[in-house]
Amino acid sequence: MCAFGQIPQEKQTIVNPLPEEEILQPCRYQMVLPESTSPIRAAWVIFDRGQDYLQWFHDRRVRAFANEHHLALVLAMHCRSKEREDMIVLPEKGVGRALFSALTQFADSEARPELKTIGIIAMGWSGAGSLAARLAGYRPPSNCRIKRCAARN
């Protein structure tokens, strides 16, 4: 438990793109875990698209809300496209796999296995908003909790 006014430690991980993916360079992720040892209910994923969303991730009220509701707060740094060096909006082009791979890496490094299968709450604007909407129907088969999840991909 953090002392009053102390900032919870941010965890970091990097996911390397696979050769066939549209990702130009490794994707970086930061995460703040709830202070409790209770199971994490979901990952609140904020896509970095400028100062407004960085401020959301660092805002103490946002972090308090995430902590109170047992949410892992995740900042997904900009994964650039090989084609135009801008946001990839289609999860199947690699950015979806990278996000779920990051959650798996965090699960292993923090001994929080539920991070491998929890749902996500994604938010972003512009291309990140389009990606967030598309993530609702996407999850790599190896990360599915239920059989019908693999059938959707």
Per the structure, the count of domains in the chain is: 1
* Arithmetic mean of pLDDT, 95-103: 95
65 in any annotated domain = yes
pTM for the structure as a whole: 0.84
- What does the pLDDT read at residue 78? 75
10 Å CB burial of residue 11 (0-12, 13-18, 19+) is middle
Task: Quote the pLDDT of residue 7.
Answer: 54
Assess if residue 59 is contained within a domain: yes
Ranking 16-20, 75-79, 87-91, 138-142 by mean pLDDT, the lowest is: 138-142
Whether 1 maps to a domain, the answer reads no
Query: What confidence tens digit (pLDDT) does each residue in 110-130 have?
Result: 999 999 999 999 988 888 888
Question: Of 66, 2, 76, which Cα lies nearest the Cα of 34?
Answer: 66
pLDDT digits (tens, 9 = 90+) for 20-53: 999 999 999 999 999 988 999 999 999 986 677 7
Residue 66 is assigned to a structural domain of this protein: yes
Q: What is the pLDDT of residues 54-77, one digit of tens each?
A: 888 999 999 999 999 999 999 998
DSSP run (H or E) holding 97? helix 95-110
2 occurs within a structural domain: no
Q: Are strands 27-32 and 71-76 parallel, antiparallel or unpaired?
A: antiparallel
Q: How confident is the model at residue 12 (pLDDT cuts 50, 70, 90)?
A: very high
Domain ranges, residue 92: 11-152
Q: Is residue 76 part of a domain?
A: yes
